[in-house]
């Protein structure tokens, strides 16, 4: 802890300095100098040509961040983060800095792409190879863009939206996850560099699944991604984030924020496959994935459903939540979390029932292997006014081997006697009878584990959009390779 407070002090002096001397960073530079200060925040905002109010918001967030302690309640451990030892803004790499071909890419990564059945061109894109050929997906993307425009859907980067739709951004940014929510969210608010923005107009059913992957932001949106999705009255959208292919990033710390808002009768389905680099078998390297995701069911009869398949990262700290404010609104959380080797995950959800007859469903499937450790942490909170609220929680853990751990930490706070809250939890070891049965039918050990674990996760996997589901199934097998025998 000493190191952290020292860092904070150091930051404080730096920040004060920056304030006295005004801009010390040259805006013409492509990359902000290492470290975090008010100047860094100003640099990012200026680079992005942001309006004054947004700069002020970022600065307020930054100042607040300085005063906040690191969250300590989760069951994960890691050395203190030295925030001054990172870069917070870098222009996208130019083609000449990128690898020239797949020959320059780590063969292990390519092997995984191969197993996932990812086409060559996409492999190149994922691996960050400089590609000058016009590839299919670009033209497909253009066609899709036209289709979206026809129905009035706005889908693009949040940087663009800040320029083109400032009124929407100003109204909703930080409205669901305020900058002071937690330390990671504050940091994101101060220094976010990009992310996605979606607006679905009244009564529109978005004609296709929207996906970040599809937006082809091959340029890194970076470690501080910010996403805002607004579904206006009676609209519907399904949004996919991430991809099954393992993504590498030189930045260890990722602190994304996702905010969802549904107005009356609107629905957002948000699906994530997270497969950031988990580190090696000994736990070296790997991403710290500290994400704040929250949806606000503001309107009556609105619905937000989160589905996540979390297999990557050294540390996952993530609780996609729903605030069920509108009467009859529905929140759902479906989660598969796999930890292997030295990975740690502390993940779950919060369902906050405010409106009458609000309903929530939580299905969490945790699989732990190797020496990994994971916790389900969930809060179901029924406020006094949530007449007739209902929650059902199903929380299952599967252990592979005897050196891993799984913990379930449910919190229930109920202030309305008409509400009903059900919680079921199970923990089991992978079953030798099942493994032998599969092997007797010709499956090798890894195929058997993959099949059994996929069965265990079925109730979550079936909520994934089709185009994600098949790859996600393969990913489950790959994530557990080497976990038995």
Partner 1 sequence: MPLLEIQNLHATVGDKEILKGINLVIKPGQVHAIMGPNGSGKSTLSYILAGRDGYDVTKGEVLFDGKDLLSMPADERACAGLFLGFQYPVEIPGVATMTFLKTALNAVRAYRGDDPLDAMQFLNYVRERAMVLNVTDDMLRRALNVGFSGGEKKRNEILQMAVLEPRLAVLDETDSGLDIDALKIVAEGVNAMRTPERGMLVITHYQRLLNYIEPDHVHVLAQGRILQSGGKELALELEKNGYGDITGAEAA
Report the residue number, 147 or 458, with the smaller CB distance to partner 1. Answer: 458
- Report how far residue 193's alpha carbon sits from residue 171's, in angstroms, rounded to the nearest whole number: 19
Q: Which is nearer to partner 1, 217 or 454 (CB)?
A: 454
Nearer to partner 1, 13 or 444 (CB): 444
**Least separation, in Å, of the C-beta of 336 and partner 1?**
12
| Rounded least distance, CB 398 to partner 1, Å | 11
Please give the structure tokens belonging to residue 437: 């049965």
Is 121 or 443 the residue whose CB approaches partner 1 more closely? 443
Cβ 447 to partner 1 shortest distance, Å: 6
- The dihedral region occupied by 30, where left means phi > 0, alpha psi between -120 and 50, and beta the remainder, is alpha
Residue (of 62, 27, 30, 61) closest to 46 by Cα position: 27
Q: By C-alpha distance, which of 325, 440, 425, 438 is closest to 385?
A: 325
Give 414 or 449: the residue with its C-beta nearer to partner 1. Answer: 449
Other C-beta atoms lying within 10 Å of the C-beta of residue 48: 18
* Residue indicated by tokens 């997270």: 274
Question: CB-wise, 251 or 434, nearer to partner 1?
Answer: 434
Assess contact for 455 and 473: CB atoms under 8 A: no
Q: Give which of 399, 273, 299, 285 is closest to 339, Cα–Cα.
A: 399
Residue 102 vs 443, nearer CB to partner 1: 443
Q: Least separation, in Å, of the C-beta of 116 and partner 1? A: 17
Least distance from partner 1 to the Cβ atom of residue 110, Å: 22
**Which one, 94 or 440, has the nearer CB to partner 1?**
440
Pick 257 or 452: Cβ nearer partner 1: 452
Structural tokens at position 297: 């069911």
> Which of 348, 339, 347 has the alpha carbon at shortest distance from 314?
339
Of the two residues 52 and 433, which places its CB atom closer to partner 1 in the complex? 433
Q: How far is the CB of 287 from partner 1 (least distance, A)?
A: 29
Tell the smallest beta-carbon distance from residue 436 to partner 1 (Å): 5
CA–CA–CA angle 58, 61, 65 (5° rounding):
135
> In the complex, what is the shortest distance from the CB of residue 241 to partner 1, in angstroms, rounded to a whole number?
25
- Cβ atoms of residues 341 and 304 within 8 Å: no
When the beta carbons of 235 and 308 are compared against partner 1, the nearer one is 308
Which residues here bind partner 1, judged by CB under 8 A?
A: 431-434, 436-445, 447-448, 451-452, 454-459
Q: In the bound complex, what is the minimum distance in angstroms from residue 345's beta carbon to partner 1?
A: 21
Angle, helices 52-67/38-47, rounded to nearest 10 degrees? 150
Least distance (Å) between residue 361 CB and partner 1: 18
Residue 454 CB, nearest distance to partner 1 (Å)? 7
């Amino acid at each position: 802890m000493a190191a952290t407070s020292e860092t904070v002090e150091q930051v404080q002096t730096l920040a004060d300095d920056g304030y006295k001397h005004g801009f010390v960073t040259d805006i013409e530079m492509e990359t902000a100098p290492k470290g975090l200060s008010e100047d860094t925040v100003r640099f990012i905002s200026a680079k992005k040509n942001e309006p004054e109010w947004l700069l002020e918001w970022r600065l307020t967030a930054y100042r607040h961040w300085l005063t906040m302690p690191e969250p300590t309640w989760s069951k994960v451990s890691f050395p203190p983060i030295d925030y001054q030892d990172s870069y917070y803004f870098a222009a996208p790499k130019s083609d000449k800095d990128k690898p020239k071909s797949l020959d320059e890419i780590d063969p292990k990564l390519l092997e995984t792409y191969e197993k996932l059945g990812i086409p060559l061109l996409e492999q190149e894109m994922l691996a960050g190879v400089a590609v000058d050929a016009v590839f299919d997906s670009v033209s497909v993307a253009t066609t899709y863009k036209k289709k979206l425009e026809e129905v009035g859907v706005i889908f693009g980067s949040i940087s663009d939206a800040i320029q083109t739709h400032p009124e929407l951004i100003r109204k909703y940014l930080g409205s669901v996850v305020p900058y002071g929510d937690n330390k990671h969210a504050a940091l994101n608010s101060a220094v976010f560099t990009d992310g996605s923005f979606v607006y679905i107009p009244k009564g529109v059913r978005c004609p296709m699944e929207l996906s970040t992957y599809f937006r082809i932001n091959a340029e890194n949106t970076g470690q501080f991604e910010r996403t805002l999705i607004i579904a206006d009255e009676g609209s519907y959208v399904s949004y996919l984030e991430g991809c099954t292919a393992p993504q590498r990033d030189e930045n260890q710390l990722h602190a994304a924020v996702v905010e969802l808002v549904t107005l009356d009768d609107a629905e957002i389905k948000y699906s994530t496959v997270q497969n950031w680099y988990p580190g090696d078998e000994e736990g070296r390297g790997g991403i710290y994935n500290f994400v704040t995701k929250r949806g606000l069911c503001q309107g009556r009869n609105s619905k937000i459903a989160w589905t996540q398949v979390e297999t990557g990262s050294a540390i996952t700290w993530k609780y996609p939540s729903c605030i069920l404010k509108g009467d009859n609104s529905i929140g759902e959380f479906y989660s598969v979390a796999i930890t292997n080797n030295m990975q740690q995950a502390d993940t779950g959800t919060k369902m906050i029932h405010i409106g009458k007859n609000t309903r929530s469903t939580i299905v969490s499937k945790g699989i732990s292997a190797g020496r990994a450790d994971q916790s389900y942490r969930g809060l179901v909170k029924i406020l006094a006014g949530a007449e007739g609220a209902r929650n059902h929680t199903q929380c299952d853990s599967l252990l592979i081997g005897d050196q891993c751990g799984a913990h379930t930490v449910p919190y229930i706070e109920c202030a309305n006697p008409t509400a009903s809250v059900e919680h079921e939890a199970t923990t089991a070891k992978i079953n030798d009878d099942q493994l032998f049965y599969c092997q007797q039918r010709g499956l090798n050990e890894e195929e058997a584990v993959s099949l059994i674990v996929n069965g265990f996760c079925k109730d979550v996997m079936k909520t994934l959009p089709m185009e994600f589901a098949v790859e996600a199934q393969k990913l489950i097998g790959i994530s557990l390779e080497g976990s038995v025998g």
